[in-house]
Amino acid sequence: MSDSNKPLFSRPVLAAIMLFCTLAIWLLNLTATSSTLPTPKLETWTTSSGVPVVWLKQETWENSNKVELRFAFRSVTTNTVLIETTLAMLMSDSLPLSTASINQRLAPLAASANSYYDHENQVIGLTLNNETDYLLPSLSLVTKWLKSPDFKRRTFDNWQAQRPLSPDAQHELEDALFFDSAAEQISRNRTPASLERIIDYYQSLKNAAVAIYIVGDLTLEAQKSLQTALNEISQDFQIAKNPAEQIQHEPLSTIIQQNQGELWQTRSAIALKPVATIKEWISLQIWGADLVATLNQQQHIDFVQLALTLSPTNPWAWWSIQYSNNPIIAPTVSNEEMDQLIDAKSLVFTEQVPSIKSEKRFQTLLDTFKTQLETQALSPTWWSYIATQITHVDSQLTLEQFANNYQEAVDSFSAEDYQVAITQLLISSSYQEIQVYQ
């Protein structure tokens, strides 16, 4: 008969079991995914004119009526004013026999239109309601709009009268970064567009189609209706044949000073290597967040704005710093504090990036990124942004690769991955800075 008071395990055995359990839990935590991100499914086909269509969907959208539609083009031109004006005119009252803008016409149908462009890509976007009562009239309206837009003379004249004569910060930096003779290029790019050139450029867009992206849930009936509409809209589309060439950046870092007086604003730009992997994309998100946070912590800076243009061949980053005009601040900054002020240019050199120098800062930024990503990955709008502005059909990083592998890339991302990627991506010698005084 056994002794019920005798322990089941001896103390050495119990200690070993406890140690084994601790190690097992540690190993499970080590191998478990750090976040739960949806894995979208992709379905592809081509329109009757041969344009690739990519439909991205996930289970979390099955009860949602929101569908994002994107027409992606690559009509190569250095005249950013022509692109800007064409898309602005398209988004205005370009429906035949209409004085209302396209968004005024789409609003009662729970739909809206938008556009995006950079120096390599152009995108016409639509947000649609997938319910039949809304989708069918929306598609009918959009088909008439995109097949034969009416660029009106009075709308063009109004646009030209309201448009500022001086280029905005983004275009000014773009010219300085990508063209050898910046002043000459700026002058050529600012040549006013004519209505005839706008009509011709819209045709060139249709001759430079890249793909059509659908993001969201569709019933079988809605899918068939959308396929029919896309065949009609893209009837005279042609696939883009002239991809942009890689620009070779020489060590031509420059600082341009404008006006005299107190420093009011700096505008900075740097060329990047094309993004080839998801981990490189993650690295740029962390580097950008670090740059903005670091500069915003400076006492003499009011705020910082950053933009990443991750085009397929010649990507770049630019940011604008607005300095404080509070006269109380300057006298309170000691010589020692002045020595600690961070120069914007220093953040394009790997060895000076705070999140590379500090493991703790890197981990904090990575955790914040992961938290944000869990929300973003549930949005059809975010996925349409990934499809048209981050991944590209003719680049090393495609939408399919991103959708299938971004969970693993996030979970295995390390400080070493970050340092290697930033060292590879930032072309420090291309740095351009425009200093504005007043």
Q: What is the pLDDT of residues 384-436, one digit of tens each?
A: 999 999 999 989 999 999 999 999 999 999 999 999 999 999 999 999 998 88
For residue 351, what are its two tokens? 């060895």
The C-alpha R_g of the chain, in whole angstroms, comes to 26
- The chain-wide mean pLDDT, for the chain, equals 86
Residue 34: which pLDDT band, with cuts at 50, 70 and 90?
low
pLDDT value at residue 222: 96
pLDDT value at residue 339: 40
pLDDT in tens, 70-117: 999 999 877 888 999 999 999 999 998 889 999 999 999 999 999 999
Residue 236: which pLDDT band, with cuts at 50, 70 and 90?
very high
Q: Cα-Cα-Cα-Cα dihedral of 20, 26, 28, 33, to 10°?
A: 180
250-327+336-437: CATH architecture: 2-Layer Sandwich (3.30)
| 371 phi-psi bin (left φ>0, alpha ψ -120 to 50, beta other) | alpha
Right CATH number for 41-234 from 3.40.50.300, 3.40.50.150, 3.30.830.10, 3.90.730.10? 3.30.830.10
Parse the chain into domains and list their residue ranges. Answer: 41-234, 250-327+336-437
Nearest to 102 by CA among 91, 115, 89, 88: 91
What DSSP element (H or E) covers 339? helix 335-340
pLDDT value at residue 109: 97
Structure letter (DSSP) for residue 251: S
pLDDT value at residue 38: 94
C-beta separation of 102 from 87 below 8 A: no
pLDDT value at residue 253: 74
* DSSP annotation string for 266-331: EEEEEEBPPP-SHHHHHHHHHHHHHHHHHHHTSTTEEEEEEEEE--SSS-EEEEEEEEP--TTHHH
Residue with tokens 């604008």: 320
d(Cα 202, Cα 87) in Å, to the nearest integer? 8
Of 149-153, 220-224, 323-327, the one with minimum mean pLDDT is: 323-327
C-beta separation of 286 from 330 below 8 A: no
Residue 326: which pLDDT band, with cuts at 50, 70 and 90?
low
Which residues, in sequence order, are bridge partners of residue 54?
44, 213
Of 149-158, 159-168, 359-368, the one with minimum mean pLDDT is: 159-168
Of 55-64, 185-194, 239-248, the one with minimum mean pLDDT is: 185-194
- What mean pLDDT do residues 227-242 have? 94
Nearest to 229 by CA among 151, 149, 135: 135
For residue 189, what are its two tokens? 């790019």
pLDDT value at residue 26: 44
| pLDDT at position 249 over 60 | no
Give the burial class of 332: count Cβ atoms within 10 A of its Cβ; 0-12 exposed, 13-18 middle, 19 or more buried.
Answer: exposed
| pLDDT at position 187 over 70 | no
Residue 128: which pLDDT band, with cuts at 50, 70 and 90?
very high
| pLDDT at position 259 over 60 | yes
| pLDDT at position 338 over 60 | no
Q: Is 250-327+336-437 the same fold as 41-234?
A: yes
d(Cα 159, Cα 163) in Å, to the nearest integer? 6
